[in-house]
Amino acid sequence: MNMAVQAINSNTKGVAQNTYDAIVIGSGISGGWAAKELCDKGLKTLVLERGRNVEHNKDYPTATKDLWEFPHRGNMTRQFLKDNPLISKAAGFGEDTAHFFIKDKDHPYVQEKPFDWIRGYQVGGKSLTWGRACQRWSNFEFTAPARYGYGLDWPIRYEDVAPWYSHVEKFAGVCGNKDGIEAMPDGEFLPPFDLNCVETHVQKSIKQHFPDRHLVQARWAHITKPTETHLQLGRGKCQARNLCMRGCPYGAYFSSVSATLPWAARTGNLTMRPFSVVHSIIFDEQKNKAIGVRVIDAQTKATTDYFARIIFLNASALNSNLVLLNSTSQRFPNGLGNDSGLLGKYIAFHNYRANVRGEIPGFEDKYYFGRNPTEPIIANYRNLHQQDTDYLGGFTTFMGAHRTRGATANLTEEIGAAYKDALSLPGGWRVYMYMQGETIPKESNHVRLSKTEKDQWGIPLLVTSVAYDDNDEKMIKDFLAQSTAMLEKAGCTNIQQHDSKQAPGLDIHEMGGVRMGHDPKTSLLNKYNQLHYCQNVFVTDGACMTSTGNQSPSILYMALTARAVNHAAEEMKKGNL
């Protein structure tokens, strides 16, 4: 095996040319952090990214366009939708953002059960299009699986991650308010965005009628007051345009492209290699560790091997599973580090199915200025100190209120001058709430490699076998009932409940398959995100998640990544890696 590797190696230049201190696979939210932290530690770092290069500002073709400059005003054409039924379902997907998402036919996979796998393959990954919600996990989430017996105990606690959350928040720039809520710990926040008048009203009403529930201002990765670090990178204050998914010309929301990667580049230690599809991680049986990574050029399809002492796998949750499953050797016939046979199992995600909305009279003399790119949050209030529902897990609730357009209520005719003038005025206010629920990891929810089908680079297709269950249905019911009750108490009328019944995947919070744990028999990674059985390989994206919690996950991936790099660097110094 190893001999063959050497032979294929790098068509011309030989091993030395292709050797780095560290390799990072993927340049999205977590890979960008791995790159930044490794380069800051003085390690020569190669970042392998399967997609094209994207440079801050230069490659944001729609960022400053007005709506009328899009021929279909944001909609996709019939032909595009016919060719891309899957990716076009993604939240926020449209004529202005399509260039940051894949096309369906380029990247097939096998849906054994319906699963909408949303991907953005380019430098920056999904950090360019993410929603930017950034709440911290609390210890309730780290301890819930052990306390309620619904899975594996996390090998870490809030205290292990807290300093790394701080580290990450300060650099990324997260706005929010310190609210002192046990279920959603405070962080290093820049000033929050305002609540609007109706949101403030709903906040007060919840406080009065549901004293154990807390509606707070958004904790979101936006710079509301740049620090010296932000300014050094050319990142500035958010201009409240709410066009973030196109890429931000002000660098005001956090992305790999505006923040971590340029920072890493400034150290002089970074080598970026776009169009590099990682095929597998190369394991050396004599050395009993990984020695490098096999790459297929996205365009020429040529194979090249790269070498390093440590490897960070950050290809996004399911792709990291795929890479490990495809990294086979005599020692690891079922995938790298997979002695337990659990690689690819216990996949979970967030439950985004349900929302409620209503109208609220009485605020017609109030309005707002600008477009708020964030949303207020109701911290989880379920199953905190004890299990108090007929289901396991909890949910975060996002909410918002906005004024509609069109003061047409008293018109008898909806044609003509009076109608048009009425449509130019603001209408009534509406309020909505939607859920982000925890789902329970189960062995049966899994991904694996197809035995028969391969992609255009000769890599087996991923098979997804992931579904909702009864626990999720119960949580949806509870969410709908509780949220409706909160809207009623706030004085909403015409309240409507909605369950989208969407397949998993559209939440874009897929997690698991390479979970962390104390015991190598029941987990793949140790408490520092190292493969138990191949300790120079670190997996720090969503694949590492032992349970899903109910908070938005990405800021935790960032914190775990920075923590793991720190550990790796220390171990390297000690000669252990």
Partner 1 sequence: MNRREAIAAVAYIMGSTVVGAEVFLSGCQRSSSDETLSFSENTVALLDEVAETILPSTAASPGAKEAHIGSFIKTMVTDCYEEKDQKIFAAGLDKLQEVSKEKFKDNFQKLSAGNKHALLVNLDNEAKSYQKSKKEDEPNHYFTMLKQLTLLGYFTSELGATQALNYLPVPGRFEGCIPYKKGDKAWAM
Residues binding ligand SF4 (CB under 6 A): 222, 238-244, 248, 250, 252-253, 373
Q: Alpha-carbon dihedral of residues 169, 173, 177, 179, nearest 10 degrees?
A: -10
Token pair recorded at residue 238:
């958010």
**Would you say 75 or 242 has its CB closer to ligand SF4?**
242
Nearest approach, Cβ of residue 401 and ligand SF4 (Å): 18
Q: Which of the 8 DSSP states describes residue 31?
A: H
Candidates 118, 184, 401, 516; binder of ligand FAD (CB under 6 A) is 118
d(CA 162, CA 486): 32
**Would you say 42 or 85 has its CB closer to partner 1?**
85
> Which among ligand FAD, ligand SF4, partner 1, none contacts residue 252 (Cβ within 5 to 8 A by kind)?
ligand SF4
> Which among ligand FAD, partner 1, ligand SF4, none contacts residue 402 (Cβ within 5 to 8 A by kind)?
partner 1
Stretch that binds partner 1, among 1-9, 228-236, 430-438, 458-466 (CB under 8 A): 430-438
> Which among ligand SF4, ligand FAD, partner 1, none contacts residue 89 (Cβ within 5 to 8 A by kind)?
partner 1
22 DSSP β-pair partners:
45, 310
For 119, residues 6+ apart whose C-beta sits below 8 A from its C-beta are 87, 101, 102, 107, 126, 316, 319
Does residue 204 bind partner 1 (CB under 8 A)?
A: no
Token pair recorded at residue 405:
């357009």
For 279, residues 6+ apart whose C-beta sits below 8 A from its C-beta are 294, 295, 296, 303, 323, 326, 457, 458, 459
CA distances to 54, 309, 330, 408, 571 from 576, rounded to whole Å, are 36, 11, 24, 72, 5
Asked if 18 contacts 9 with a C-beta cutoff of 8 angstroms, the reply is yes
**Would you say 483 or 535 has its CB closer to partner 1?**
483
Does residue 148 bind partner 1 (CB under 8 A)?
A: no
Stretch that binds partner 1, among 55-63, 65-73, 281-289, 296-304 (CB under 8 A): 65-73
Does residue 246 bind ligand FAD (CB under 6 A)?
A: no
Token pair recorded at residue 198:
């109706």
Stretch that binds ligand FAD, among 10-18, 116-124, 477-485, 486-494 (CB under 6 A): 116-124
379 DSSP β-pair partners:
none
**Would you say 140 or 189 has its CB closer to ligand SF4?**
189
**Would you say 366 or 518 has its CB closer to partner 1?**
366
DSSP, residue by residue, 105-166? GGS--EESS--------BTTGGGGT---B-PPP-HHHHHHHHHHTSSPPPS--HHHHHHHHH
**Would you say 222 or 309 has its CB closer to partner 1?**
222
Asked if 46 contacts 24 with a C-beta cutoff of 8 angstroms, the reply is yes
Does residue 272 bind ligand FAD (CB under 6 A)?
A: no
**Would you say 106 or 364 has its CB closer to partner 1?**
364
Does residue 127 bind ligand FAD (CB under 6 A)?
A: yes
**Would you say 29 or 272 has its CB closer to partner 1?**
29
Query: 15-34: which residues touch ligand FAD (CB under 6 A)?
Result: 25-31
In the shown chain, the binding pattern of residues 61 to 100 toward ligand FAD, with x for contact by CB under 6 A and - for none, equals -----------------------------xxx--------
**Would you say 90 or 516 has its CB closer to ligand FAD?**
90
CA-wise closest residue to 525 among 504, 548, 545: 545
How many CB atoms within 10 Å of residue 92?
14
**C-alpha 162, offset from chain centre:** 19
CA-wise closest residue to 464 among 116, 119, 112, 118: 112
Does residue 423 bind partner 1 (CB under 8 A)?
A: yes
Q: Which residues bind ligand FAD (CB under 6 A)?
A: 25-31, 48-51, 90-92, 118, 120-121, 125-127, 129-133, 276-278, 314-317, 319, 323, 508-509, 541-542, 552-554, 557
